[in-house]
């Protein structure tokens, strides 16, 4: 059945024992058709049904004999293969093959789900490859657009974002259907020679190789992007990485690694930088509190502790990585493309401060131009080969387990005890090959009884039911102080139903303190009619109140016991500012025993009237601030009497009116009708009126005529009384003189 070499035949002669068709090598009590007590080498071409449960294989046996590797390949491919000499070690990347695309050169690559997205530099194509089975990649769709000179690509949700340098443009493709990608927009950008692009939420960050900064674009509408700002200070090629609220960037010519806070996504807030050991830093990858930088000119992968973004701390590195150019994290490993020899190198970073070399493979890479991770598949953009893409696999998840039915793949990391399965170290990913936490779930979690955790990170997740009885729920980046924390990037959403949404107190009862929604109405409520709602600052135990709404509907501003629908504190000050003008306020105040109603400038006025749904405000009287008149009444003034200030102590330059009779004789009394239709706001009386003409009176007795702010004139008829008195006296004097003359005759 097996072909055994001459050396093994010699061993058979000395130790071979046949027992009931069982053959033993190195044992005199064989328990199987062939029982080998020692090393076993399997050659090509023969079939085998099963291995016994106690079969043992050393971890690196396939480096010397093809035992373990052959079994792994058999599990995976169904036939025995010889040792793969392109693999430098048991965990080194295995070259799976090329992804043959319609683009002649792969200049940049990105992955999302089971798809790899590749762009070339000298064509206008976006090529999409289905890598569900990376050993048999399938062409999916091709997107046509204005993407000549494509330099970088990013995928988020249903969109691909491609930056180009010929000319400087950003192209956005809808890739919701990978078989039919559609270009939604193509826009000129101010990033000259874009070297990298990173996307988070509604914003894209594009690095410029020649200008030395980042351009920030609002991409919420793929049909119309908006430049929101620029920032950063770089030289040469810039590589970008976003994790949480921070953007990490390398600058090749400056030899620096920068960190920016992007909590406010349109502002790059510089936090810190590092330049230790860095010579032409080409790329950066971040996981947890560690950042790894490819320092190209001194063949170094440098590691930094970035738990304090303002002060990244150099923790060491690993040298002799020839000209590292691109980095990506894959689980607890770091994938590195070395540009000088076009090799893919795998580094173990499971211990944050220690980097260990696992292995490397050059596959069929001619000139590497980019790196992306799709599940457990490593995709390398291949600029120098028509295949455009090289596909690699870590092959870390397969081991050898022996069962009665034959050879089975088992996970090395898991252990069992009774009904329990557990893992002593590392991270566990469900629905993701790149777990960042002890348990990282990309999908739905159902807890039918109780889920216990010290903290729950629900980034981009929907929680349908959460009864948090003990511990902390963080949405966004926050300290573990309260049960639920939500920062700028933490969102809380409810279902589209009309009902109570948040119960602060009284959960489960009919009456609650909380927030609810009804049709066209947002409700903020207490549990009983005599409970109040207060607004202020501080905390519940140290609260400074500024406004209160009583249960009876009274509102108090600055007072916690409003006795009227709107109440203010008993202080002498401005109470209501309706419009803060440039030189004063429009509003109301109390000063001493004076209630004040005021406008804000000398050209303004305080009006009294009523509001009409049809005509709007109708003025009946107003007080002009200019002081030309104290009040203008637009209509009749009904009063029991009018009293004028006339005390001699108010007056000076007192003299008797001269020529009073002559002036009265010049006055013309007229009858007239007011133009009520032309001046409806004045509420003039209709019908025939009796009076004087202001312009005629002004030429005779100007003291009784005033001109309003609008240029119209008025007559103070009361001021004509002194004139009439003196004219009567003058007339009476003439009568007396005439009587005397008649009597003399």
What is the per-residue pLDDT across 399-448, written as a single tens digit (0 to 9) for each?
Answer: 444 333 444 444 445 555 555 666 655 567 787 766 767 777 877 777 66
Is the alpha carbon torsion for 622, 623, 625, 630 positive or negative?
Answer: positive
When pLDDT is averaged across residues 168-177 and rounded to a whole number, the result is 95
Question: pLDDT band for position 450 (50/70/90)?
Answer: low
Q: Residues 234-291: pLDDT tens digits?
A: 888 899 999 999 999 999 888 899 999 999 999 899 999 998 889 999 999 999 999 9
Angle formed at CA 718 by CA 716 and CA 724, multiple of 5 degrees:
115
Q: Which has more confidence, 453 or 79?
A: 453
pLDDT at res. 698: 95
- Which one-letter DSSP state was computed for residue 462? -
pLDDT at res. 420: 62
When pLDDT is averaged across residues 638-657 and rounded to a whole number, the result is 88
pLDDT at res. 296: 92
Q: Which has more confidence, 535 or 426?
A: 535
When pLDDT is averaged across residues 123-128 and rounded to a whole number, the result is 87
Question: pLDDT band for position 379 (50/70/90)?
Answer: very high
| Maximum mean pLDDT: which of 50-64, 223-237, 610-624 | 223-237
Q: Which has more confidence, 359 or 461?
A: 359
Look at residue 687 and tell me whether its pLDDT is greater than 80: yes
> In the chain, what percentage of residues exceed pLDDT 70?
77
Look at residue 645 and tell me whether its pLDDT is greater than 70: yes
Q: 364-403 b/e with 16+ CB inside 10 Å = b?
A: bbbebbbbbbbbbbbbbbbbebebbbbbbbbbbebbbebe
pLDDT at res. 309: 95
Neighbours of 259 (CB within 10 A): 24
Look at residue 64 and tell me whether its pLDDT is greater than 60: no
Question: pLDDT band for position 154 (50/70/90)?
Answer: very high
Chain region(s) in the chain for CATH 1.10.10 = 607-727
Question: pLDDT band for position 582 (50/70/90)?
Answer: confident
pTM: predicted TM-score of the whole model, two decimal places = 0.48
Distance CA 198, CA 215 (A): 11
pLDDT at res. 343: 86
When pLDDT is averaged across residues 502-520 and rounded to a whole number, the result is 83
Look at residue 583 and tell me whether its pLDDT is greater than 50: yes
Look at residue 702 and tell me whether its pLDDT is greater than 70: yes
| Maximum mean pLDDT: which of 33-37, 150-154, 468-472, 499-503 | 150-154
pLDDT at res. 414: 57
Distance CA 225, CA 188 (A): 10
Nearest to 216 by CA among 255, 258, 201, 476: 201
pLDDT at res. 428: 76
- In 433-480 the beta strands, taken as DSSP E runs, fall at 439-441, 455-457, 472-475
Lowest mean pLDDT, pick from 291-295, 482-486, 732-736:
482-486
Look at residue 218 and tell me whether its pLDDT is greater than 90: yes
Strands 125-130 vs 138-144: parallel, antiparallel or unpaired: antiparallel
Q: Which has more confidence, 145 or 38?
A: 145
pLDDT at res. 326: 95
The widest CA-to-CA distance across the chain, in whole angstroms, is 189
Lowest mean pLDDT, pick from 92-106, 231-245, 477-491:
477-491
Lowest mean pLDDT, pick from 266-275, 306-315, 628-637:
628-637
Q: What is the pLDDT of the chain when averaged over all its residues?
A: 80
- Please report the DSSP string for 193-250 in residue order: SEEEEEEETTEEEEEETTT-SEEEEE-SSTTS-EEEEEE----S-EEEEEETTEEEEE
CATH class of 607-727: mainly alpha
Question: pLDDT band for position 483 (50/70/90)?
Answer: low
Query: Left (φ > 0), alpha (ψ -120 to 50) or beta: where does 78 sit?
Result: left
Distance CA 104, CA 124 (A): 11
pLDDT at res. 83: 36
pLDDT at res. 73: 53
pLDDT at res. 638: 80
Question: pLDDT band for position 89 (50/70/90)?
Answer: very low
């Amino acid at each position: 059945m097996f072909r055994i070499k001459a050396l093994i035949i010699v061993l058979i002669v000395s130790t071979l024992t046949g027992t009931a068709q069982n053959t033993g090598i190195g044992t005199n009590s064989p328990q199987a058709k062939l029982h080998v007590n020692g090393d076993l080498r399997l050659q090509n071409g023969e079939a085998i049904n099963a291995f016994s449960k106690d079969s043992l294989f050393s971890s690196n046996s396939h480096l010397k004999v093809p035992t373990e590797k052959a079994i792994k390949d058999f599990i995976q491919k169904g036939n025995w293969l010889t040792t793969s000499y392109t693999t430098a070690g048991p965990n080194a990347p295995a070259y799976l093959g090329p992804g043959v695309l319609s683009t002649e050169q792969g200049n940049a690559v990105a992955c999302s789900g089971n798809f790899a997205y590749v762009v070339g530099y000298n064509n206008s194509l976006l090529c999409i490859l289905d890598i569900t089975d990376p050993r048999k990649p399938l062409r999916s769709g091709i997107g046509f657009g204005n993407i000549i000179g494509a330099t970088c690509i990013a995928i988020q949700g249903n969109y691909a974002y491609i930056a180009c340098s010929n000319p400087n443009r950003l192209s956005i493709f809808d890739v919701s259907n990978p078989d039919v990608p559609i270009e939604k927009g193509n826009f000129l950008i101010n990033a000259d020679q874009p070297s990298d692009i990173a996307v988070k939420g509604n914003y894209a960050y594009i690095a410029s190789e020649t200008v030395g900064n980042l351009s920030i674009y609002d991409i919420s509408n793929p049909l119309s992007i908006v430049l929101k700002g620029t920032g950063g200070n770089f030289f040469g090629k810039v590589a970008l990485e976003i994790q949480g609220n921070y953007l990490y960037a390398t600058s090749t010519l400056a030899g620096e690694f920068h960190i920016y806070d992007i909590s406010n996504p349109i502002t790059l807030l510089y936090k810190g930088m590092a330049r230790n050991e860095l010579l032409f830093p080409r790329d950066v990858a971040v996981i947890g509190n560690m950042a790894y930088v490819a320092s190209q000119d001194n063949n170094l992968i440098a590691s930094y502790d970035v738990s304090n973004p303002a002060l990244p701390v150099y923790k060491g590195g690993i040298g002799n990585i020839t000209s590292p150019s691109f980095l990506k994290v894959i689980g607890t490993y770091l994938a590195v493309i070395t540009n000088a020899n076009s090799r893919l190198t795998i580094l173990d970073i499971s211990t944050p401060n220690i980097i260990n070399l696992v292995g490397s493979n050059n596959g069929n890479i001619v000139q590497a131009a980019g790196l992306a991770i799709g599940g457990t598949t490593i995709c390398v953009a291949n600029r120098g080969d028509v295949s455009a893409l090289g596909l690699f696999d870590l092959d870390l998840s397969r081991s050898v387990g022996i069962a009665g039915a034959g050879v089975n793949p088992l996970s090395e990391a898991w252990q069992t005890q009774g009904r329990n399965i557990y893992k002593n170290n590392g991270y566990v990913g469900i629905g993701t090959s790149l777990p960042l936490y002890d348990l990282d779930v990309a999908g739905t979690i159902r807890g039918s009884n109780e889920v216990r955790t010290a903290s729950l990170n629900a980034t981009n997740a929907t929680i349908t039911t959460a009864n948090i009885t003990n511990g902390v729920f963080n949405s966004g980046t926050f300290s573990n102080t309260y049960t639920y924390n939500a920062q700028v990037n933490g969102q809380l959403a409810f279902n589209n139903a009309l009902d109570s949404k948040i119960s602060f107190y009284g959960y489960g009862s009919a009456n609650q303190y909380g927030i609810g929604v009804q049709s066209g109405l947002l409700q903020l409520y207490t549990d009983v009619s005599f409970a109040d709602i207060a607004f202020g600052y501080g905390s519940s135990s140290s609260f400074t109140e500024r406004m209160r709404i009583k249960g009876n509907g009274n509102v108090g501003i600055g007072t916690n016991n409003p006795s009227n629908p709107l109440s203010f504190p008993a202080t002498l000050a401005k109470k209501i500012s309706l419009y803060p003008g440039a030189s004063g306020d429009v509003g109301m105040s109390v000063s001493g025993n004076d209630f004040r109603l005021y406008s804000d400038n000398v050209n303004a006025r305080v009006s009294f009237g009523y509001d009409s749904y049809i005509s709007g405000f109708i003025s009946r009287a107003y007080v002009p601030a200019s002081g030309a008149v104290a009040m203008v009444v637009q209509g009749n003034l009904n009063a029991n009497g009018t009293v004028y200030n006339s005390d001699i102590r108010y007056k000076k330059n007192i003299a008797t009116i001269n020529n009073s009779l002559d002036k009265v004789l010049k006055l013309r009394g007229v009858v007239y009708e007011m133009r009520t239709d032309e001046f409806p706001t004045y509420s003039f009386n209709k019908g025939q009126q009796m009076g004087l003409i202001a312009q005629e009176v002004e030429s005779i007795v100007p003291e009784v005529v005033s001109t309003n702010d609008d240029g119209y004139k008025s007559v103070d008829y009361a001021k004509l009384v002194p004139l009439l008195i003196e004219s009567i006296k003058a007339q009476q004097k003439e009568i007396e003189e005439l009587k005397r003359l008649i009597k003399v005759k």
